[in-house]
């Protein structure tokens, strides 16, 4: 069934992978963007452009008018090759989300789909986590703040009056994310380092698989559920970055690098079942093939 869908954050890497898939599925997309002049990729996919800011209720209401589903992908995360601000991203999640949700309700949007992060399940070391697992985050700094902001964001979504769904994505990599390109560049330059000793787990997700899962969620709506969307095989950093170095023809990475996040090893069983979805890139070896 074709839906009119509003997408906030449509010009980010996730949005750039999602919009062509929404168009291919027959949906009519309205991209809510701060600067339409920088939304050529969205327009090329056939999306209608509407100027709106995440903190401007009136513009959001106008952009959402007539839409049946609203998707919030808005982030301000730094990438290796692009600017960003962790504190601004936390504010966007914590303070911007309630504004977005109120605008959705006032515009009469029946369903909202929220991007979140599987890292909210971090802190369990080697233990597997699912959607019911929540560890206290004891490490200070960027990751703790990001996890707290994501939890507040999800709480706002769960408390809203609309029908909602939340997709908790693994750590994105793939075209446009900048992460794997940065790993390979540092490996070739002999500057790639393991976070600490490289023993922690990371649950990855190719950004194309997140876009595919989002389309599947629209088709098989997981009403009032939060689902982990990650690949099949979480990996220790030492194995992941060691593989990158092997592909790059470089020496194995040395330990002692900075750690930006706690260990998280999450399972995707519920998303597979609820969405009839499976990752096209089941692990880092498939996703990094060159």
Cα(125)–Cα(275) distance, rounded to whole angstroms?
28
Residue 188 is part of which domain span? 4-287
CATH number of the domain where residue 243 is located? 3.40.50.720
Cα(99)–Cα(225) distance, rounded to whole angstroms?
21
The answer to whether the beta carbons of residues 139 and 153 sit under 8 Å apart is: no
Residue 206: strand pairing partners: 173
Structural domain count of the chain: 1
pLDDT of 76 reads 87
Residue 30: strand pairing partners: 6, 48
The answer to whether the beta carbons of residues 104 and 156 sit under 8 Å apart is: no
pLDDT in tens, 16-45: 999 999 999 999 999 999 999 999 999 999
pLDDT in tens, 120-142: 999 888 999 999 998 876 665 57
**The residue to which tokens 């809203």 are assigned:** 160
Cα(103)–Cα(92) distance, rounded to whole angstroms?
15
pLDDT of 69 reads 98
Give 192-255 as a 3 state SS string.
CEEEECCCCEECEEEHHHHHHHHHHHHHCCCCCEEEEECCCCCEEHHHHHHHHHHHHCCCCCEE
The answer to whether the beta carbons of residues 164 and 114 sit under 8 Å apart is: yes
**Cα dihedral 83, 89, 95, 98 in deg (nearest 10):** 100
pLDDT of 79 reads 63
Cα(138)–Cα(274) distance, rounded to whole angstroms?
32
**The residue to which tokens 């969205």 are assigned:** 42
pLDDT of 84 reads 60
Nearest to 50 by CA among 34, 69, 73: 34
How far separated are the first and last CA of the chain, in Å rounded? 37
**The residue to which tokens 């898939």 are assigned:** 21
Nearest to 92 by CA among 108, 119, 111, 73: 73
**The residue to which tokens 């890497």 are assigned:** 13
Structure tokens at 54: 């995440």
Concatenated DSSP letters for 57-115? HHHHHHHHTT-SEEEE------BTTB---HHHHHHIIIIIHHHHHHHHHHTT--EEEEE
pLDDT of 82 reads 56
Q: Give the chain's residues under pLDDT 50.
A: none
In the chain, the largest separation of any two C-alpha atoms, in whole Å, equals: 57
The answer to whether the beta carbons of residues 12 and 104 sit under 8 Å apart is: no
Nearest to 6 by CA among 44, 54, 78, 40: 54
């Amino acid at each position: 069934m074709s839906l009119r869908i509003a997408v906030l954050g449509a010009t980010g890497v996730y949005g750039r992978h999602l919009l062509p898939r929404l168009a291919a599925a027959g949906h009519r997309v309205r991209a809510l963007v701060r600067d339409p002049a920088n939304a050529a990729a969205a327009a090329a996919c056939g999306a209608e452009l509407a100027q709106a800011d995440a903190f401007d209720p009136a513009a959001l209401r106008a952009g959402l008018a007539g839409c049946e589903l609203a998707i919030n992908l808005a982030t301000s995360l730094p990438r290796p090759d692009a600017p960003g601000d962790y504190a601004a991203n936390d504010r966007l999640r914590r303070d911007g989300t309630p504004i977005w949700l109120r605008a959705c309700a006032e515009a009469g949007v029946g369903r909202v789909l929220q991007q979140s992060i599987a890292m909210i399940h971090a802190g369990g070391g080697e233990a597997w986590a699912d959607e019911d697992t929540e560890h206290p985050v004891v490490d200070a700094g960027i990751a703790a703040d990001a996890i707290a902001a994501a939890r507040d964001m999800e709480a706002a979504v769960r408390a809203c009056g609309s029908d909602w769904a939340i997709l908790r994505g693994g750590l994105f990599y793939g075209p446009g994310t900048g992460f794997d390109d940065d790993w390979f560049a540092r490996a070739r330059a002999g500057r790639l380092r393991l976070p600490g000793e490289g023993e922690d787990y990371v649950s990855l997700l190719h950004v194309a698989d997140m876009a595919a899962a989002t389309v599947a969620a629209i088709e098989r709506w997981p009403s009032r559920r939060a689902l982990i969307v990650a690949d099949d095989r979480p990996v220790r950093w030492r194995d992941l970055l060691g593989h990158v170095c092997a592909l790059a023809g470089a020496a194995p990475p040395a330990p002692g690098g900075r750690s930006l996040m706690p260990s998280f090893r999450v399972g995707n069983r519920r998303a597979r079942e609820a969405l009839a979805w499976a990752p096209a890139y089941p692990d880092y070896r498939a996703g990094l093939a060159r």
